[in-house]
Chains A and B, each alone.
Chain A
Amino acid sequence: MASASLLKTSPVLDKSEWVKGHTLRQPSTSAVRCHPVAPSGLTVRASSYADELVKTAKAIASPGRGILAMDESNATCGKRLASIGLENTEANRQAYRTLLVSAPGLGQYISGAILFEETLYQTTIDGKKMVDVLVEQNIVPGIKVDKGLVPLAGSNNESWCQGLDGLAPRSAAYYQQGARFAKWRTVVSIPNGPTELAVKEAAWGLARYAAISQDNGLVPIVEPEILLDGDHGIDRTFEVAKKVWAEVFFYLAQNNVMFEGILLKPSMVTPGAECKDRATPQQVADYTLSLLRQRIPPAVPGIMFLSGGQSEVEATLNLNAMNQAPNPWHVSFSYARALQNTCLKKWGGRPENVKDAQEVLLIRAKANSLAQLGKYTGEGESDEAKQGMFVKGYVY
């Protein structure tokens, strides 16, 4: 695409110029942020990483592939391990993540993997760096950079997402370790409003995080999750989603984020989990595509949906319905539970089950790959895969 060549870039710096945790880099000379007389006059959407960001985003948004979200915090990973009777130790977390990243041929269906900080610096049980295994599999390593949700003062019991303090040096360090994209998850709750305040805070936080990420070579995944909790109908979800995305893009633009170098991670437009009226995959697809068409500029290369508590099969069916006709952006998946659930159960913590568990993971990954291409047929799905995974008031 012509756009990348139009951006002024300076060469990506040699890693040897980095000192962990500190930056020796001079402020980017190609990003002229203000005209001396006119602070608002000249904006250039570029950092010294512009070309690389575009390339990375495109690689992740490649046809037939999506993201494996495996960035559960230690506490959340603990819940997963507990569900199969395992203790929450670093060794067990290491064993589980090793299983995931070493699944043979995973890179055919998975273009990126989001890691938690511990995993980014971990080795597999055979002593290889997790990031190296991923790169060999042609999977781009990513890193969760937010520091979780906390109560938002002055709101209607809503949350906001922390993590901006020190984000720049942290991002630079993650880049040095091999991460090439980042993720920040904020939430919006429909039963609580959402209030103007909560929506603006969510959007503004995402915009600041995105700008800082790009400045440090990481493609930001922009994730404002509209929680499934509630008994509202699909029309209400649609209304809130339109508002949220309008705010997000407005602030992204104000923060001079380069859209060709971001990815989005939205929730699909569905009824609330407790709503009596369910929706078919076709309805979910229609509403969700309308939302995207009305709010997402085509410069964004990829839209990677979160599963948010849908069952493995539901999440695949809905994605498939959205890919029955060509879209101006790559419409794909960034699934955690919807990729890992059955695999985790199959493993049960036993080394002898690793191969079978990896098989199961590949089955789900392939199903979603087909869904991305609009070719999923749903044959041979197990009952386990069809089980819903919604947890009321889910806390990561």
Chain B
Amino acid sequence: DELAKNAAYIGTPGKGILAADESTGTIGKRLASINVENVEENRRALRELLFTAPGALQFISGVIFFEETLYQKTASGKLFVDVLKESGVLPGIKVDTGTVVLNGTNDETFTQGLDGLAQRCQKYYEAGARFAKWRAVLKIGTIEPTELAIQENANGLAMYSAICQQCGLVPIVEPEILVDGPHDINKCAAVTERVLAACYKALNDHHVMLEGTLLKPNMVTPGSDSPKVAPEVIAEHTVRALQRTVPPAVPAVVFLSGGQSEEEATINLNAMNKLKTKKPWSLSFSFGRALQQSTLKAWGGKAENVAKAQEAFLVRCKANSEATLGTYKGDAKLGEGAAESLHVKDYKY
């Protein structure tokens, strides 16, 4: 079955996902941080830099595109999807259309994008996409996440997943619980378990084939305003949460980095893969900021820096590949900003 095959492939040990699906607005913020203008050519150039980095694609099983990028080409005229295909990398596509505040809540949100989703998915499949992504967002507060927010987001994820599968796209199920807040790791664990249980209930009720899905959760960590803990502690709490909620039929869990620094995200993933416990799904990455940060800084928008930037990108790809095998020794050459926290309070994509 194509869906199960593609989902399993994405979770191949040693590989993971590059999330390069920043919307036009969001990528604008990235470019602004290195004083580059937010025009189509610059956005194209950045993505070309990433996709053609020598030696990097062997560590990548999938790339998530934003719609614009799905149809873009290299400077020499080759479609990005073809560049990826040649290296055995599956193209993916972000299909949600952003979050909207839930009425009657304290700024909790639900995710839009179901209208016309089937037609859009068919188009994306024809353009070469083989998986999709939809980001639901929840936050931890005194009463949050509320039952309403959890149900609404779980249901949205389930409906999106069912539609994707009907169109041949493997859905990545992403219920991100934001790291913002003063809560401790136990609170994050409890909320994560509750949210994931609700997600899998909804997926089951919507008859989604779990073997043809992927999960993109947050790691279980203390809140951003809370003292940090060791990677092993994060690993134990995270894997335990998954053991309690994720059926083995799901082939891979591809973590989001959610504001952790490049190095932090890699080290935490590595700790999880070193843990000796029941892990019937592979544990890998789907990083955006945590793969691109030092690359971006090295590039600075200048053509003469492309090779240097691509080297920085390769360093992070290789490090994360090792992290999926539990063999990362923490010795990657840290580019500028690799250890810098990427947390932005109340982050809006």
Residues of A whose CB lies within 8 Å of any CB of B are 1-3, 6, 35, 37-38, 40-45, 242-243, 246, 249-250, 253-254, 259-260, 290, 292-299, 328
Chain B interface size, as a band, is: 20 to 34
- B197–A249 contact, CB under 8 A? yes
Q: Does B73 contact A (CB under 8 A)?
A: no
Can you list 17 A-B contacts (CB < 8 A)?
Answer: A3-B277, A37-B142, A40-B146, A41-B187, A45-B244, A243-B204, A246-B204, A246-B205, A249-B201, A294-B211, A294-B249, A296-B248, A297-B243, A298-B243, A299-B240, A328-B248, A328-B280
B237 within 8 A of A: yes
Q: Which residues of B contact A (CB under 8 A)?
A: 142-143, 146-147, 186-187, 190, 193-194, 197-198, 200-201, 204-205, 210-211, 236-237, 240, 243-249, 275, 277-280
With both chains docked as a complex, state the minimum distance between the C-beta of A62 and any C-beta of chain B, in angstroms: 15
Cα A297 to Cα B280 in complex, Å, equals 10
| Closest beta carbon of chain B to A384's beta carbon, Å | 37
Partner of B197, one of A2, A3, A253, A294: A253
Cross-chain contact B240 with A43 (CB below 8 angstroms): no
**Contact across chains for A3 and B201 when beta carbons are under 8 A apart:** no
A242 and B142 contact, Cβ closer than 8 Å, known pairs A3-B240, A253-B194:
no
Asked if B240 and A6 make an inter-chain contact with CB atoms under 8 angstroms apart, the answer reads yes
Cα A298 to Cα B281 in complex, Å, equals: 10
Query: Do residues B236 and A6 form an inter-chain contact, with CB atoms below 8 A?
Result: yes
Establish whether residues A299 and B243, one from each chain, have CB atoms under 8 Å apart when the complex forms. Answer: yes
Q: How far is the CB of A247 from chain B (nearest CB, A)?
A: 8
Give the CA-CA distance A43 to B197 in the complex, in Å.
Answer: 13
In angstroms, Cα B320 to Cα A259, docked, is: 31
Contact of A38 among B143, B200, B236 (CB under 8 A): B143
Given A1-B277, A2-B275, A6-B237, A253 contacting B190 (CB threshold 8 A)? no
Provide the main secondary structure of the chain B interface. Answer: helix
Q: Which one, A242, A260, A298, contacts B204 given CB within 8 A?
A: A242
The 9 nearest A-B residue pairs measured at CB: A246-B204, A299-B243, A253-B197, A328-B280, A293-B249, A250-B201, A299-B244, A38-B143, A294-B249
With a cutoff of 8 Å between Cβ atoms, the chain A residues found around residue B147 in the complex are: 40
Q: Say whether A294 contacts B143, CB under 8 Å.
A: no
The answer to whether B210 and A2 touch across the interface, beta carbons within 8 angstroms, is no
Do residues B249 and A41 form an inter-chain contact, with CB atoms below 8 A? no
A253: contacting residue among B245, B246, B277, CB under 8 A: B245
Asked if B142 and A298 make an inter-chain contact with CB atoms under 8 angstroms apart, the answer reads no
A-B contacts besides A41-B187, A294-B210, 9 pairs, CB < 8 Å: A1-B277, A2-B275, A2-B277, A3-B243, A45-B193, A246-B201, A250-B198, A294-B211, A298-B280
Using Cβ atoms and an 8 Å threshold, which residues of chain B touch A328? 248, 278, 280
Complex Cα distance A124/B178, Å? 60
**In the complex, A44 Cα to B191 Cα: how many Å?**
10
Chain B, residue nearest A290 (CB): B249
Cα A254 to Cα B279 with chains together (Å): 23
Measured CB to CB, the nearest residue on chain A to B235 is: A2
In the bound complex, CA of A6 to CA of B243 (Å): 14
Task: Please determine whether B278 and A298 come into contact, CB atoms closer than 8 angstroms.
Answer: yes
What is the distance, in angstroms, from A371's C-beta to the closest C-beta of chain B?
Answer: 21
B247 and A250 form a contact (CB under 8 A): no
Contact B247 A295, beta carbon cutoff 8 Å:
yes
- Whether the Cβ atoms of A297 and B205 lie closer than 8 Å is no
Which residues from chain B contact A38 at a C-beta distance below 8 Å?
142-143
Residues in B with CB closer than 8 Å to A299 are 240, 243-244, 278
List B contacts of A292 (CB < 8 A).
Answer: 248
In the bound complex, residues from chain B placing their C-beta under 8 Å from that of A254 are 197
In the bound complex, residues from chain B placing their C-beta under 8 Å from that of A290 are 249
Q: Judging by beta carbons under 8 Å apart, are B204 and A295 in contact?
A: yes
Residue of A at shortest CB range from B203?
Answer: A246
A85 to nearest B CB, angstroms? 48
Which residue of A42, A45, A259, A296 contacts B187 across the interface (Cβ within 8 Å)?
A42
Neighbouring B residues of A298 by C-beta, 8 Å: 243, 246, 248, 278-280
Contacts of A2 in B (CB 8 A): 236, 240, 275, 277
Shortest beta-carbon distance from B343 to chain A in Å: 23
- A40 B143 Cβ-Cβ under 8 A: yes
The answer to whether residues A41 and B142 also contact, given A253-B194, A298-B278 and a CB cut-off of 8 A, is yes
Rounded to whole Å, the gap between the CB of A245 and the closest CB of chain B is 8
Taking A40-B147, A43-B190, A246-B205 as contacts, is the C-beta distance between A297 and B244 under 8 angstroms? yes
